């Protein structure tokens, strides 16, 4: 288990207490609607440090600008990323807005990457690619995911050989397979589980929803 201490959770709790104290309304977050247009605008178009306290600022900004709504399991939030990964995030945004074509290196990848416009975003996508293209079992694919997370050169070199040989045995072009593995290695700098993404998007939405309903800014002890 991975327990995180997030300031945002405290801010949400304070906001709910202030709403009850000054407006006499006791809110339950689980009962609040997830289709409030104003909250979406505040959460995913305007980015503030508090809403993205644990996220890389630039990555958060472009992902929030690209996100139109929260869908359970597909909300997109972004953790701190390396500079070399930013090109892939920019590519995601440009493809989402139709400024770049959505392309797939192999037809088999469309089903796996279609929801993220052909860009690897989730760890689950990498494990499925390894399974589909290179014949990894799901257990072996999870070991590949872990190896990428640890970024151990010697382990990744062995995984590259296994992936390329497996994909070649399945009839895939070696040059494209090498390119795909390179992208998978780069993905390790910013990839995360899909549930992680949904949880952060849900948290950002609740943060903004509670702030929007709280007392005026100049009356809040935290401001």
Task: Compute, in degrees rounded to 10, the torsion defined by CA atoms 129, 131, 141, 109.
Answer: 0
34-45 average pLDDT score: 67
CB 196 within 8 A of CB 190: no
In residues, how long is the chain?
A: 223
3-state SS, residue 17: helix
Q: Which residues contact 171 (CB under 8 A, 6 or more apart)?
A: none
Residue 59 has pLDDT above 60, yes or no: no
Q: Specify the range with the lowest mean pLDDT, choosing from 100-114, 139-153, 157-171, 192-206.
A: 192-206
Whole-number Å distance between alpha carbons of 57 and 69 = 20
Q: What is the pLDDT of residues 12-38, one digit of tens each?
A: 889 889 889 988 989 888 887 777 777
Tell me the mean pLDDT in the region 35-63: 55
Rounded CA-CA distance 160/152 in Å is 12
For 202, list phi and psi in degrees, rounded to 5: -65, -40
Lowest-confidence range among 46-50, 167-171, 219-223? 219-223
Top mean-pLDDT range of 13-22, 62-71, 85-94, 208-217: 13-22
Per-residue tokens: 8: 């945002």
- pLDDT on residue 81: 43
Q: Measure the CA dihedral 59/70/29/32, to 10°.
A: 140
**Phi and psi, residue 122, nearest 5°:** -105, 145
Is pLDDT larger for residue 89 or for residue 77? 89
State the DSSP code for 122. Answer: B
pLDDT, tens only, 145-159: 888 877 778 888 899
Whether the predicted pLDDT of 50 surpasses 90: no
Residue with tokens 């993205």: 52
Residues 6 or more apart whose CB falls under 8 angstroms from that of 204 comprise 8, 43, 44, 51, 52, 64, 77
Backbone angles phi, psi at 15, to 5 degrees: -60, -45
Higher pLDDT, 198 or 15: 15
| Structure confidence at residue 46 (pLDDT) | 55
Q: Which residue has the tokens 């009962």?
A: 31
């Amino acid at each position: 288990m991975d327990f995180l201490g997030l300031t945002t959770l405290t801010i949400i709790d304070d906001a709910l207490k202030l709403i009850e104290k000054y407006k006499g309304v006791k809110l339950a977050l689980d009962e609040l609607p997830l289709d409030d247009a104003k909250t979406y605008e505040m959460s995913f178009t305007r980015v503030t440090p508090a809403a993205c306290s644990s996220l890389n600022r630039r990555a958060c900004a472009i992902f929030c600008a690209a996100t139109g709504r929260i869908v359970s399991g597909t909300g997109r939030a972004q953790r701190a990323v390396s500079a070399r990964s930013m090109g892939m995030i920019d590519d995601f945004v440009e493809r989402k807005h139709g400024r770049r074509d959505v392309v797939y290196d192999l037809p088999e990848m469309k089903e796996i990457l279609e929801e993220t416009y052909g860009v690897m975003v989730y760890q689950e996508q990498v494990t499925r690619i390894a399974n589909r293209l290179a014949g990894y079992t799901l257990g072996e694919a999870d070991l590949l995911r872990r190896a990428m997370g640890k970024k151990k050169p010697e382990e990744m070199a062995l995984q590259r050989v296994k992936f390329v040989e497996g994909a070649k045995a399945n009839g895939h072009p070696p040059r494209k397979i090498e390119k795909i593995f390179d992208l998978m290695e780069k993905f390790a700098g910013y990839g995360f589980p899909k549930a992680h993404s949904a949880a952060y998007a849900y948290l950002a939405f609740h943060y903004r929803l509670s702030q929007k309903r709280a007392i005026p800014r100049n009356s809040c002890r935290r401001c």
